[in-house]
Structure 1
Amino acid sequence: MIVSESRVVLGSDEGVILVEGGVGEPWSGSTLLAVQEEGAVEEEGSDVWILTGDQWGPFEVVARVLDSAPGEPEEAWQDVAEVSLESASGFYVTELVSQDVGTVIDLAPGIYRVRVSARGRSAEADLDEDGEVVERGGEEPPEHYLLEIWAAPPTAPVDLRETSSLAQERRAGPPAVPVLPEAADGLAASRRIGRDVDGAPGARTLSGEVGELTVSGRARGSRRKRFRWLNGPISLAPHTSSWMFMSGNDWQQVGAATYGAAHEDHPDQLAGSRGLLRDVLIEEVRPARRVRTWAWLVPPPGTAGAPPEQCTPLFESDSTIVTTYDESKDAGGDPWTTIVVRHAGLPVEWLDDMHAWWTYQLALVASYD
């Protein structure tokens, strides 16, 4: 029986819905739930993270307090997990960063079982069948979450169900990096550029003279499908997860910036181990043309790294990248896309290396369906 119920629609900056107010054993055995070792900002407790599919939302969250354990989760719920938490006064369900919107679940002190059920966590949530970005929102939030809470003795956390495409993708792990003949030269080139950015031993002295390069490649499929690639500092599958981070949920809008960074052991060192790449979208004509600027940013001397606002440009002027997509059909009527990248405003000492790096990127585009 339902004792109480509340509903809230949340956004998120980090793809996390936060459940505060409980203490439990740290756990990371689910693609849906993670019990943290401590609360945010060193508060007492063990924050529970509900891991969403989309980074931004909106997410519908319904929280129910029950007088006894529920039965089997309904089939509509794709992912389901449970944990036990001790609470002194109840829980607060909110967004990870701002925490200014949420729902309060009042409870007597005690130990509770918390079941989280989810549907709509999709690995393809932001793309349509042509690879076009789908604007999220509208009257119906695309992701739904149900929290069911009841008093119960502590038991081990359990993953009851993982059937969403997102859960299955995360369980499978990242796709294997394709073995491409262009990879060795492309990644070696990025390491040389990164060494220059870091000012590491062996770094080249840059003359200040700039030039430009043009690289082209051909990939199977329509240009609408291929247009979503090459849309950020390091935008391709082998490097996206550990390289790119966004400045906000407007990152695909004209004038918005994204930033890329890599650790020193990352295979792609295009910004060095300390620096950042700033990408600003200048013009976009889908699915034919995209214009962006790139700036290499470096942190203050003597620091291992810094956020964008504390970094300074390595060069006086940003470089400019114009990417065009032209579609044609082969003899069998199947579509192919020719992608041309023109990168101007680069140090002349980097032209050969950047040519190798872009050649690798275009080979990667062609290798993915």
Structure 2
Amino acid sequence: MRYTTWSSDRMFVSYHQYYLQGDGFLTEYQESDTVGRIFAGNSVVAGGPEHLTVRSGTHTGWIRLTTQQCAAEPPLPGPEWETVVDVSICSTSGQLHLCCWGGDVEEDAGNFAMAGEGWYRVRVQARGRDEGDANQGDDPVEEHVLSVWPSPPQPDVVHSASDTFAREHYDPARPAPEPIQP
């Protein structure tokens, strides 16, 4: 499988968040409720056209983050990943960049809309969110993998949700959210 990887042991998160954001997000879309949809949805990620919000356990500090730009769906990870969720996002600009809270772009991570305008699937894998929530130090204790590949829109899929935040907010009896159309 062909893919591009970017990794950092020092990805800065604020207010438990980091993002994928497209060029048209701030000018064309007024979606401001992704955090609410995380709490009422799959517990880790929500998005709409040109944006995606990921919730970390770490409030403000550093996490380890690996990103993968994939040609097709990657294999599911093993049981060491506490929370694993797939969601759909639409890029109307053909640009999706990794961003920190406040808008700083991680330029080295590249453009996640590698096939241009259209729909993508995003898998968020997280472990250590409980430890991250309690971490007051400068060393990251939480790790995420963000994989993105071209794919038609589909409802959210929760493969696993076993950290404390997921157990408190994810309800498997609730219908899976549908992707938000542009």
> Is the TM-score greater than 0.5?
yes
For residues 11 and 171 of structure 1, the distance between their equivalents in structure 2, rounded to whole angstroms, comes to 25
Find 1:79's aligned residue among 54, 79, 83: 83
Other-structure match for 2:17: 16
Other-structure match for 1:161: 160
RMSD: 2.8
Is 1:112 the equivalent of 2:111? Answer: no
TM-score of the superposition, structure 1-length normalised?
A: 0.38
Is 1:149 the equivalent of 2:153? Answer: no
Other-structure match for 1:32: 44
Structure number, greater radius of gyration: 1
The structure with higher relative contact order (CA 8 Å, sep 6+) is 2
SS of structure 1 residue aligned to 2:14: coil
- Return 5+ residue gaps in structure 2 as ranges: 172-182
Give 1:12 shift: 2.4
Q: Is the 8 A contact 1:10 1:94 kept in 2?
A: no
Name segments (4+ residues, structure 1) moved above 6 Å.
Answer: 22-26
Other-structure match for 1:91: 96
For residues 154 and 103 of structure 2, the distance between their equivalents in structure 1, rounded to whole angstroms, comes to 32
- Return 5+ residue gaps in structure 1 as ranges: 37-44, 127-133, 173-369
Given residue 148 of structure 2, which amino acid in structure 1 is its aligned partner? I
* Distance verdict in 2 for CA 1:169–1:123, change over 3 Å: farther
Give 1:5 shift: 0.8
Other-structure match for 1:3: 3
Give 1:72 shift: 2.3
For residues 30 and 13 of structure 1, the distance between their equivalents in structure 2, rounded to whole angstroms, comes to 20
Other-structure match for 1:356: none
Percent identity over the alignment is 23
Q: Is the 8 A contact 2:97 2:106 kept in 1?
A: no
Other-structure match for 2:178: none
Find 1:54's aligned residue among 53, 58, 61: 58
Give 1:53 shift: 0.5
- Residues 26-50 of structure 1 deviation map (CA, whole Å, 9 limit, x = unaligned): 75411101225xxxxxxxx442110
For residues 6 and 165 of structure 1, the distance between their equivalents in structure 2, rounded to whole angstroms, comes to 28
Give 1:11 shift: 1.5
For residues 18 and 165 of structure 2, the distance between their equivalents in structure 1, rounded to whole angstroms, comes to 16
Given residue 46 of structure 2, which amino acid in structure 1 is its aligned partner? A
Other-structure match for 1:137: 138
Give 1:7 shift: 1.6
